[in-house]
Amino acid sequence: MAIKLMGVEGAASGSQDFVMITSKEFFSRDGADYLKLHRALMGNAISIPFYFATHPKNIAIVLRGRQKLTSPLAGKYFSAVPYKLGPRTMKFKVMPCADNAAGETLPSPDVVSNYLRHRLVSRLTRASACFHFYLQPNQEPDDQRVEDPRIAWDEERSPYIQVATLRIPQQTGIDSRPQLNFCENLSMNPWHTRSETRPMGQINRMRARIYTAISEFRHSRNQIPVLEPVSHTPCVGPTAGLCMAPR
Reported as a single tens digit per residue, the pLDDT across 55-112 is 999 989 988 888 888 899 999 999 999 999 999 999 999 999 978 877 788 887 677 6
Same domain, 40 and 122: no
Range ranked top by mean pLDDT from 32-36, 113-117, 199-203:
199-203
- Average pLDDT over the chain reads 93
The answer to whether residue 142 scores a pLDDT higher than 80 is yes
Same domain, 17 and 49: no
Pair 20, 8: CB distance under 8 Å:
no
**pLDDT level of residue 133 (50, 70, 90 thresholds):** very high
Same domain, 118 and 210: yes
Instruction: Give the amino acid at 73.
Output: L
Backbone angle region of 218, left / alpha / beta, with phi > 0 → left and psi within -120 to 50 → alpha: alpha
Which stretches does DSSP call E strand in the chain? 2-6, 15-19, 77-78, 83-85, 88-96, 129-137, 161-168
Distance of CA 186 to the CA centre of its chain: 13
pLDDT score recorded for residue 103:
75
Rounded CA separation 141/51 (Å): 30
The answer to whether residue 209 scores a pLDDT higher than 90 is yes
Which has the higher per-residue pLDDT, 38 or 92?
A: 92
The answer to whether residue 216 scores a pLDDT higher than 90 is yes
Range(s) of the domain holding residue 29: 24-66
pLDDT score recorded for residue 194:
96
The answer to whether residue 1 scores a pLDDT higher than 90 is yes
CATH label of the domain that carries residue 14: 2.40.180.10
Distance of CA 209 to the CA centre of its chain: 17
Same domain, 178 and 61: no
Same domain, 122 and 225: yes
Rounded CA separation 176/232 (Å): 15
Reported as a single tens digit per residue, the pLDDT across 167-185 is 999 999 999 999 999 999 9
The answer to whether residue 115 scores a pLDDT higher than 80 is yes
Same domain, 52 and 173: no
Same domain, 111 and 187: yes
The answer to whether residue 8 scores a pLDDT higher than 90 is yes
Backbone angle region of 83, left / alpha / beta, with phi > 0 → left and psi within -120 to 50 → alpha: beta
Same domain, 136 and 197: yes
Rounded CA separation 67/69 (Å): 6
Nearest partner of 193 among 2, 1, 8, judged by Cα: 8
How many structural domains comprise the chain?
A: 2
Same domain, 56 and 116: no
Task: Classify 168 as helix, strand or coil.
Answer: strand
Same domain, 129 and 101: yes
